[in-house]
């Protein structure tokens, strides 16, 4: 059996290139690159520049032999803060919208899951990847959760991680460009007030929601629970007026950067070398799935009166945390985006294991005992 170390999305660091430098030098370079790239994207008016800049910088460092990695607890804590931040945008109107259009929304979620599953089936059928690897790698669910499930079903977790995070990068980049150049967001974004006066009570309540929700999600082992539970609990408290969600911009910026670095640093030379055989099929499947999501977004705009950018983000098959950051940086209905993203995640969690086994069996892949 492969060691647990090989089951992580990052292979053991090999000291080449930047890896020969001290961690202080690597972190300093990563920080400088992140600030420079994020500043450039911000000047161009690209939404979520504080996520995209660190993501690109992390990829540059990782591909040049960087060996620095982020502490898992820090990443989870930042996901918790993102979930809490989103909760502050929840309104009661979203419930009525969903109840009035639930067949359409359910159909859209099922379409995204079906197309991602078909992509995995085709790659498996062509014997590009072994077992259920392609099925989990193409699955439109949370990347971390898909890797956990993939390991349980005997798939190559390194390839699953590569496929999942590559799709996150593609979708996040496309969503940011759509927000800037297609959805009518003109000019530079509103200036950010980094150190505005802090309401101590609101901040304390918000952090309490974040800590309690994150720990509850972790304890219950809910997929993406450290993001979902603060989002759900905070949203309920915010709608009822019990809590005013407030997080300072500098703290959110740190959270965005950490999540961007976590994705970017995963693209190392050993990972790319291991995944080179699946690169073209993976890119093709991602582009097809993004195209289908675009069509579904268009249907939403025509049938439910949803604005184009909100519809596109809601149907995008990317990471929930990155989509949430882009939504928060754009003029969209965040509660609608997160409601549809949450519905997709929950359906993937419910349908994923039996669907993967069924499709893998039909494709002729060998499965571990049930």
**Contacts of 178 by beta carbon, 8 Å cutoff, 6+ apart:** 309, 312
- Average pLDDT estimate for 303-309: 80
pLDDT of residue 247: 85
pLDDT category at 97 given cuts 50, 70, 90 is low
pLDDT category at 10 given cuts 50, 70, 90 is very low
69: Cα separation from own chain's centroid: 18
Q: Examine the pLDDT at 360 and tell me if it is beyond 70.
A: no
Tokens of 134: 């392609």
Q: Examine the pLDDT at 5 and tell me if it is beyond 60.
A: no
* CA 31 – CA 28 distance, rounded (Å): 5
Q: Examine the pLDDT at 4 and tell me if it is beyond 60.
A: no
Q: Examine the pLDDT at 151 and tell me if it is beyond 90.
A: no
pLDDT category at 58 given cuts 50, 70, 90 is very high
pLDDT of residue 43: 82
Tokens of 58: 């992390």
pLDDT of residue 187: 43
For residue range 168-221, what is the model confidence (pLDDT) as tens digits?
A: 788 877 877 776 666 555 444 455 666 677 778 888 989 999 999 989 988 887
Instruction: Answer yes or no: are the C-beta atoms of 42 and 49 closer than 8 Å.
Output: yes
* CA 50 – CA 39 distance, rounded (Å): 8
pLDDT category at 224 given cuts 50, 70, 90 is low
User: Comparing 349 with 253, which gets the higher pLDDT?
Assistant: 253
* CA 173 – CA 340 distance, rounded (Å): 20
Q: Examine the pLDDT at 52 and tell me if it is beyond 90.
A: no
Q: Examine the pLDDT at 31 and tell me if it is beyond 90.
A: yes
pLDDT of residue 195: 65
CA-based torsion, 308, 313, 315, 316: positive or negative: positive
User: Comparing 368 with 88, which gets the higher pLDDT?
Assistant: 88
For residue range 308-348, what is the model confidence (pLDDT) as tens digits?
A: 888 888 888 766 767 777 777 777 777 788 778 777 777 77
pLDDT of residue 60: 93
Of the given ranges (80-89, 145-154, 353-362), which has the lowest mean pLDDT?
Answer: 145-154
Tokens of 122: 């085709």
Instruction: Answer yes or no: are the C-beta atoms of 91 and 339 closer than 8 Å.
Output: no
pLDDT of residue 137: 80
* CA 160 – CA 40 distance, rounded (Å): 32
DSSP state letters, 102-171 = HHHHHHHHHHHHHHHHHHHHHHHHTTSS-TTHHHHHH-SS-HHHHHHHHHHTT--HHHHHHHHHHHHHHH
pLDDT of residue 28: 94
Instruction: Answer yes or no: are the C-beta atoms of 289 and 116 closer than 8 Å.
Output: yes
* CA 255 – CA 250 distance, rounded (Å): 9
Q: Examine the pLDDT at 253 and tell me if it is beyond 70.
A: yes
* CA 232 – CA 225 distance, rounded (Å): 10
Chain mean pLDDT for the chain: 77
pLDDT of residue 182: 63
């Amino acid at each position: 059996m492969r060691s647990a170390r090989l089951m992580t999305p990052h292979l053991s660091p090999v000291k080449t290139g930047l890896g020969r430098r001290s961690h202080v030098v690597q972190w300093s370079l990563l920080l400088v690159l992140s600030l420079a790239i994020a500043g450039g994207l911000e000047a161009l008016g690209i939404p979520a520049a504080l996520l995209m800049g660190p993501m690109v910088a992390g990829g540059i460092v990782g591909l040049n032999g960087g060996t620095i990695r982020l502490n898992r607890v820090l990443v989870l804590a930042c996901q918790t803060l993102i979930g809490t931040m989103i909760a502050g945008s929840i309104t009661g109107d979203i419930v009525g919208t969903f109840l009035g259009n639930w067949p359409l929304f359910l159909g859209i979620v099922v379409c995204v899951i079906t197309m991602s599953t078909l992509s995995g089936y085709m790659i498996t059928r062509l014997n590009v990847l072994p077992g259920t690897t392609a099925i989990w790698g193409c699955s439109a669910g949370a990347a971390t959760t898909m890797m956990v499930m993939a390991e349980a079903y005997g798939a190559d977790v390194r390839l699953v991680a590569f496929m999942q995070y590559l799709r996150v990068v593609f979708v996040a980049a496309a969503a940011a460009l759509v927000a800037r150049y297609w959805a009518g967001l003109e000019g530079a974004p509103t200036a950010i007030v980094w150190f505005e006066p802090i309401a101590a009570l609101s901040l304390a309540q918000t952090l309490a929601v974040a800590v309690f929700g994150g720990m509850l999600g972790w304890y219950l082992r809910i997929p993406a629970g450290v993001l979902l539970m603060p989002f759900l609990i905070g949203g309920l408290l915010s709608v009822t007026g019990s809590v005013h969600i407030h997080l300072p911009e500098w703290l959110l910026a740190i959270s965005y950067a950490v999540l961007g670095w976590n994705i970017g640093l995963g693209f190392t030379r050993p990972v790319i070398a291991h995944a080179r055989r699946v690169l073209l099929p993976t890119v093709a499947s991602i582009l097809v799935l993004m195209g289908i999501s675009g069509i579904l977004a268009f249907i939403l705009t025509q049938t439910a009166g949803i604005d184009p950018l909100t519809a596109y983000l809601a149907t995008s098959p990317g990471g929930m945390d990155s989509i949430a950051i882009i939504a928060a940086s754009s003029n969209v209905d965040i509660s609608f985006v997160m409601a549809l993203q949450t519905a997709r995640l929950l359906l993937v969690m419910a349908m994923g294991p039996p669907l993967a086994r069924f499709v893998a069996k039909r494709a002729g892949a060998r499965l571990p005992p049930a």
